[in-house]
Amino acid sequence: MISKKMQNGLNKQLNAELYAAYLYFAISAWFEGENLEGFAAWMKSQALEETSHAMRFYKHILERGGEVELFEVKKPEAKISTPLEAFQAAYEHEKKVTQMINDLVDLAEAEKDNAAIYGLLNWFVSEQIEEEDQTLKVVEKLKMIADSKQGIFMLDRELGARPLPASQTIVNPGSGED
């Protein structure tokens, strides 16, 4: 059985993962408006990945006899006017999520909740290393590119090659797919 403190912490993180998906969808929409389809696809993939992260928390809470509480997901406030600003916002957000995961580990240790630590949170600790690394790499590439339109075009193509997360698809409205 999961403690109320742990349940509350995991529900808050579930909400934070859904917010992250909203943030990445918002950034993707900005890239779409700028005709940077590869950047947009990268962000869509990231958004879908964040949704799958939320579902890990959802499933864990329920498997432990807890109650999932879905909170309102706030509107992303990121102000974007360049690809670099977009990825810097994403990187800063990933650093914030890393701290949130670390705080959950601390809570799980205080609650002596080994199932949360070893069954859920260890994976997220490793995942956040990857999330920060991949986002920071794009930030650094964008800094090298600076204002080069050719560089942006080449990076757009590179980022567009990122595959969607396993078992995730984006349904095309009007395609007849459900």
Question: What span, in angstroms and rounded, lies between the C-alpha atoms of 128 and 145?
Answer: 26
Q: Is 94 annotated as a binding residue?
A: yes
Is position 17 annotated in a ligand binding site?
yes
| Cα radius of gyration (the chain) | 18
Distances (CA, A) of 121 to 49, 54, 78: 16, 12, 27
93 is in an annotated binding site: no
Residue that the structure tokens 């909400």 belong to: 15
Is 147 exposed, middle or buried, given 0-12, 13-18 or 19+ CB atoms closer than 10 A? exposed
Q: Is 140 annotated as belonging to a binding site?
A: no
Query: Residues at the annotated binding site?
Result: 17, 50, 53, 94, 128
Query: Residues at the annotated binding site for Fe cation?
Result: 17, 50, 53, 94, 128
